[in-house]
Amino acid sequence: MLIIFTIKQPILELWTLGINQAKDAGIANVDHAHQPGQEVDSRKADATKAIDDEVQKVNIQIDKDKNLDNDAKNKQKADATDAAKNAKQMINNAKDAQDILDLIPTGIANIDKSYVPGKPHTDYVPLPTIPVHNAIKDFNNGIMRTDTTIIYDNNYKNVRSGFEDGINGLTAAEKSSKVYMAGYKMAVEGLSGMKAAQSIDKINVSDLSGKSAEFNAGFNGYLAGLKAAMKDLKKSYDNDSPVYKFTYDKGYAAGKKQAIKIAHDDGFKQGKDSKEMPKLKGYSKEYIEAFRQGFIKRQNLESKNKTFNVLADSGIYVHSSGVFTKNNRVRKMKKGDKFTVKNVVLVDGVTRYYINENEYVTSDKNLVG
């Protein structure tokens, strides 16, 4: 039996409304599920920045590598730049977002390949780093450097200029720099020390305590030079400072004059009792010459213009030279013969009497007197 239901109008309208609402809600859910993607141009810009950032990172790694020389660093940086250029070109030509995303890691990998760490090897010597030196201190210590900067060289020049002006007794330059004045002060203090050393017999050495290093260098330098000259006239610097060397030379010059005088006086004394000059080993030529002159001078005072007798039983020979040989015998003088000494000469450390032109005889007191 067929049963037919009749839907009244109000119910039909409600049912139709429900269907329409469900339809609209479904469409809204579908629309909400689809979110618009980032624009391709914006993605390309972000990708390009990522490529540039990677190049910068790789360049920093290259610069820090101490086992790479400059040529190798420049080559690797250029390779990184080329790899970045190729990556950016491919990104720029990409059609959609996925292509761009795929190209970024590939570009970064190619850039990273550009950096090849250097390997240390025995013949590689890294460029030295120029150390920071003190020009004033170096000058005062007598140190000359080559691994210096322009500022250091100017300071060294100025401190030396100040020292030279001070050591020569000049007035300090107007508007002088601190380094100039440092050099000037070195000289002034050094000269004060030298002056004290020159008056060592008039001052109390204990009064010199607490003086500056430059004062002490001048004091000690002068006395060291004086002592060296008095001993053997051989220079020997124990200190390389300009103050010490300058005052040492001054002391040496003063000591040399004294040493020469002493040598002459000693030779003069020796000449009274001996006809043969001592060897004087270890002494300078200047000292020996001064001694010789003193020795001969005394010999002449003792013998010149005096008359001597031949004492030797067998007589003595007269030679044509102060160097006696059988071949230069001129004649023979018998015991008791007399002769007058016109001069005394020194031959190989031994004195000879010069009695006439080209005639020499012995000065041995056992043979003549």
Give residue 338's pLDDT: 94
3-state secondary structure the chain: CCCCCCCCHHHHHHHHHHHHHHHHHHHHHHHHHCCCCCCHHHHHHHHHHHHHHHHHHHHHHHHHCCCCCHHHHHHHHHHHHHHHHHHHHHHHCCCCHHHHHHHHHHHHHHHHHCCCCCCCCCCCCCCCCCCCCCHHHHHHCCCCCCCCCHHHHHHHHHHHHHHHHHHCCCCCCCCCCHHHHHHHHHHHHHHHHHHHHHCHHHCCHHHHCCCCHHHHHHHHHHHHHHHHHHHCCCCCCCCCCHHHHHHHHHHHHHHHHHHHHHHHHHHHHHHHHCCECCCCCCCCHHHHHHHHHHHHHHHHHHHCCCEEEECCCCCEEEECCCCCCHHHEEEEECCCCEEECCEEEEECCEEEEEEECCEEEECCCCCEC
Report, as ranges of residue numbers, the positions in the chain whose pLDDT lies below 50.
Answer: 1-8, 11-12, 15, 28, 30-37
Domain ranges, ordered by start, for the chain: 45-113, 135-256, 304-362
Give me the pLDDT at residue 33, please: 45
How confident is the model at residue 206, as a pLDDT? 59
**pLDDT for 63:** 93
